[in-house]
Amino acid sequence: MAWTFIAIALCGTASSVIFLVLALLGAAKFHRQAREQAWFASQISQLPPVSLLKPVHGLEPRLKENVESFFRQDYPHYEIVFAADTEDDAALPIIREVCLRYPHIPSRVLINGRPPWPNPPAFSFHCMTEVAAHNILVTSDSDVQVDANYLREVVPPLLDPEVGLVTCVYRGANAGGFWSALDAIGMSVEMTAGVVTANLLEGMRFGLGPTIVVRKDVLEKIGGYQVLGEYFSNDFVIGNFVEKAGYRVVLSRHIIDHVVPPMTFRRMWERQVRWARGTRWSRPKGHLGTGFIFAMPYGILGCAAALVAGHSRIAAAFLTAAILNRVIEAWFIGHGVVRDPVVPTAPWLTPLRDLLGFFVWCSSYLSKRSVWRESRYELVEGGRIVLRQTSASARPEK
């Protein structure tokens, strides 16, 4: 029996090494495309005006700093449109205060009412698009912070008529706490590795929620935000629809800070499982294959089985290989691609996160149901969501 587990561990170790190699090649492609984007941007003499669309929902850590980063853009002309479900949303006083501090940047706040669609952000984006003054729309979450060159880097690729959507990878910015740190390092390493590998193997066919840049004509061609209203992962789906409509989806060179709030283990776990369930139903084959990219579970399994069989050197080899695998991935992806400052100072976080990610992946197959904001949903085929219950006592989530 021990040798059976050793064989399983050996296969899993091999598959995780293959994934690591693909991720490193994906990182190289990312850097090459970043240089190409920089050259293309340098050839543009006049940048078009854009509309920044930003839904808000409750207070979040660093909300003021996040919002202000969008008002401090080194860009010739842009507007910012905010949207909240209700007038009493706790985020609005901060939003209005920041708007008043930057009167030279056109801004407005919409109250769009309770969303009639299962996906609340999709409805907010629909409402903001209706009043947006410009053809290029830059959508972003309220829990992200960007550099002053953000618009100068994400907008130019969309000036190529063959490009229909631009999106960004992001690094986790921990706002405090150990469990939040595990969540954040997963964004910087695990998520980014998956994105650059997908970009390497098949090109970008999806979007990432922290930033999606799209033109109104492209949006109209896929049916507008209305077609996204019944999907859980509206960011993934919009990129999928744009690619199927014949446009290219581009992964921008700009790296975003995704602020992770302080969390208990339970909240972190529920958030991770909710995202994993969304991926499971949006990309069922790809999500199933994710089970073969983890290193630590197979390293621990091989170590334990080898010890039982009386082979301590083989046990040490399995565990060492797994740890080295994740440390290399963290360095070249978390540090090399998204420049996460935590990676060099806390390399032990990535093996722990890898082990956590495996259990999250397993848990994603245990239920179809999820809690999002104040509502309970059931995920169905194709990544669609069906509203099952609305409860004021449900924990608000992003």
The CATH superfamily of 24-283 is: Spore Coat Polysaccharide Biosynthesis Protein SpsA; Chain A (3.90.550.10)
Are 274 and 372 in contact, with CB atoms under 8 Å apart? yes
pLDDT of residue 390: 57
Are 115 and 38 in contact, with CB atoms under 8 Å apart? no
Q: What are the structural domain ranges in the chain?
A: 24-283
* Angle value at C-alpha 265, between 382 and 257, nearest 5 degrees: 70
Phi and psi for 185 in degrees, rounded to 5?
-70, -25
Give the span between the Cα atoms of 109 and 150, in whole angstroms.
22
Cα–Cα nearest to 194, from 58, 45, 68, 19? 19
Phi and psi for 73 in degrees, rounded to 5?
-80, 135
Are 64 and 94 in contact, with CB atoms under 8 Å apart? yes
pLDDT of residue 372: 58
Give the span between the Cα atoms of 342 and 182, in whole angstroms.
11
For the chain, state the CA radius of gyration.
21
Give the span between the Cα atoms of 124 and 91, in whole angstroms.
15
Per residue in 39-78, is it b (16+ CB within 10 Å) or e — as a string? eebeeeeebbebbbbbbbbeebbbbeebbebbbebebeeb
SS3 content of the chain, % helix, strand, coil (to 5): 55, 15, 30
pLDDT of residue 284: 83
Give the span between the Cα atoms of 1 and 7, in whole angstroms.
10
Give the span between the Cα atoms of 302 and 318, in whole angstroms.
6
- Packed helices 2-42 and 296-308: angle between N→C axes, nearest 10 degrees: 160
- In terms of residues, how long is the chain? 398
Are 54 and 70 in contact, with CB atoms under 8 Å apart? yes
Are 212 and 167 in contact, with CB atoms under 8 Å apart? yes
pLDDT of residue 279: 83
- Residue ranges of the chain with per-residue pLDDT less than 50: 391-398
